[in-house]
């Protein structure tokens, strides 16, 4: 598919941005004025160019062919002695003027593009400040406070200062370890066999702090006495009752029943 030699001009459509661009280029090259009157001459040039391209067996995009057909039609209309309006209502002169207007418009934008791209460009022609130091910023606080919140804070502080309920305990309610030990020393010998620790507590203890204090003191006392070898301790299960007996006792009998229910 070699293009034929000896063409009047080099036919190559690759350089054009569509038919209007081609028309513009032809008008520029042939110095054809873009008035309605000279559109006919320009159409001739265009048709010749497309014919040349076809002869050279170049692939001509459909849009160029559409324009060629349209120009041929326009040219034939322009040649008519009387300017008969086309079916769309436009006369041939109006159609030619519309084409000329579009060419002027594209030409204007092409020139604008040229001028735009001739501007000094960032990175190509100029640079901004390389490393700006930045401007120092001083922060200034605008304090806001809510009066209600302030009063609440003060109210809470003042409320906190009113005396809080304090746990006071009458010393007479408490059993000391020494007292408990003396009592255990005295009682343990009187029992025949293993006895529940709780059964050694005095009768008539008030539930609550008094009972708990007596039990705790007796427990500590029993541990002390076991350490000293005066008694033996036994617990059959975790959290189960604690039994004690005299050291010399053989442990033949089962535990005795507690003297009173324990609140522990």
Partner 1 sequence: MDDLLEAARLVEALLFAASEPMSEADIAKRLPPGIKASSVIERLRLDYAGRGVEPVQLGGKWHFRTAPDLGPALALTKREERRLTRAMEETLAIIAYQQPVTRPEIEAIRGVSVGSSTIDGLLDTGWIKPGPRKDVPGRPLTWLTTPAFLKAFGLASLNDLPGMDDLRAAGMLDTASLLNLDPAAPADSEGQIAAKDGSA
**Residues of span 217-246 touching partner 1 by CB under 8 A:** none
DSSP-assigned letter for residue 123 = T
* Candidate list 130, 171, 204, 254; residue touching partner 1; CB under 8 A: 130
Q: Which of residues 136-195 bind partner 1 (CB under 8 A)?
A: 136-145, 147, 149-164, 166
Q: Taking each helix axis as running N to C, give the angle between helix 19-29 and helix 62-79, from 0 to 180 degrees, rounded to the nearest 10.
A: 60
d(CA 30, CA 47): 14
d(CA 32, CA 8): 18
What's the order of all strands across the beta sheet hosting 195-196? 195-196, 242-246, 231-235
d(CA 58, CA 60): 6
**CB 52 → partner 1: shortest distance, Å?**
16
**CB 49 → partner 1: shortest distance, Å?**
14
Residue of 11, 7, 39, 8 whose CA lies nearest to 23: 39
**CB 215 → partner 1: shortest distance, Å?**
29
| Choice between 23 and 180, CB closer to partner 1 | 23
| Choice between 113 and 182, CB closer to partner 1 | 113
Binding track over 57-96 against partner 1, x by CB under 8 A: --x-xxx--xx--x---x--------------------x-
């Amino acid at each position: 598919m070699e293009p034929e030699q000896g063409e009047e001009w080099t036919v190559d459509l690759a350089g054009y941005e569509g038919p209007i661009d081609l028309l513009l280029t032809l008008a520029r090259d042939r110095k054809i004025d873009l008035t309605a009157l000279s559109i006919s001459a320009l159409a001739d040039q265009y048709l010749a160019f497309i014919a040349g391209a076809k002869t050279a067996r170049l692939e001509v995009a459909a849009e160029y062919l559409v324009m060629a057909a349209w120009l041929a039609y326009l040219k034939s209309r322009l040649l008519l002695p009387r300017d008969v309006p086309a079916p769309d209502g436009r006369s041939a002169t109006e159609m030619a003027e519309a084409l000329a207007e579009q060419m002027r418009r594209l030409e204007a934008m092409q020139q604008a593009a040229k001028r735009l791209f001739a501007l000094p460009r960032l990175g190509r022609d100029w640079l901004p400040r390389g490393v700006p130091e930045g401007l120092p910023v001083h922060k200034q606080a605008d304090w806001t406070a809510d009066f209600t919140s302030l009063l609440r804070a003060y109210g809470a502080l003042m409320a906190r200062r009113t005396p809080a309920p304090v746990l006071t305990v009458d010393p007479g309610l408490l059993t000391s370890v020494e007292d408990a030990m003396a009592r255990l020393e005295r009682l343990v010998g009187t029992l025949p066999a293993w006895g529940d620790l709780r059964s050694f507590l005095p009768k008539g203890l008030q539930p609550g702090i008094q009972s708990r204090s007596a039990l705790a003191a007796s427990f500590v006392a029993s541990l002390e006495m076991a350490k000293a070898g005066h008694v033996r301790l036994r617990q059959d299960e975790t959290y189960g009752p604690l039994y004690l007996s005299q050291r010399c006792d053989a442990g033949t009998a089962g535990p005795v029943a507690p003297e009173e229910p324990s609140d522990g």
